[in-house]
């Protein structure tokens, strides 16, 4: 089955850029997502990218997809303390029925 891997922890200073990386194994994955989970809150869909794209930008967020290497990244520009959360990478099949999530990357933003 699909395997999705993320680094566990990332620490940055306020105002710097954050880059959270994710690798996956199933090359047929069609939808790739980034979710944010804040303490005590549910998962919030941040952004997603289709496998036929290699980049998507949405305000401070940039998603890069390297299909050849099966590598997905999320860049947060001008990181703020409010961005501190756990970020989950997830990949979905063509039917979109089931997502496979990575273990999450805890982002800590220092003032």
Q: Per-residue x/- marks for other proteins, 48-87, CB under 8 A?
A: x---------------------------------------
Stretch of residues binding other proteins (CB under 8 A), selected from 9-17, 34-42, 64-72, 75-83 = 34-42
Rounded Cα gap, residues 80 and 67, in angstroms: 30
Give CA–CA dist 97/104, Å, rounded. 20
Q: Closer CB to other proteins, residue 99 or residue 109?
A: 99
Q: What is the CA radius of gyration of the chain?
A: 13
Applying CB under 8 A, which of residues 27, 41, 52, 69 lies at the interface with other proteins?
41
From CA 53, how far away is CA 32, in angstroms rounded? 10
């Amino acid at each position: 089955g699909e395997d999705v891997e993320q680094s566990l922890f990332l620490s940055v200073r306020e105002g710097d850029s954050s880059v959270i990386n994710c690798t996956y194994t199933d090359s047929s994955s069609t939808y790739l997502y980034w979710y944010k989970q804040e303490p005590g809150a549910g998962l919030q869909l941040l952004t997603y990218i289709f496998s036929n794209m290699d980049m998507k930008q949405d305000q401070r967020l940039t998603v890069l997809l390297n299909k050849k290497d099966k590598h997905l990244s999320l860049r947060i520009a001008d990181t703020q303390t409010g961005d501190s959360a756990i970020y989950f990478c997830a990949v979905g099949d063509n039917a979109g029925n089931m997502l496979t999530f990575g273990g999450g990357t805890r982002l800590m933003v220092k003032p």
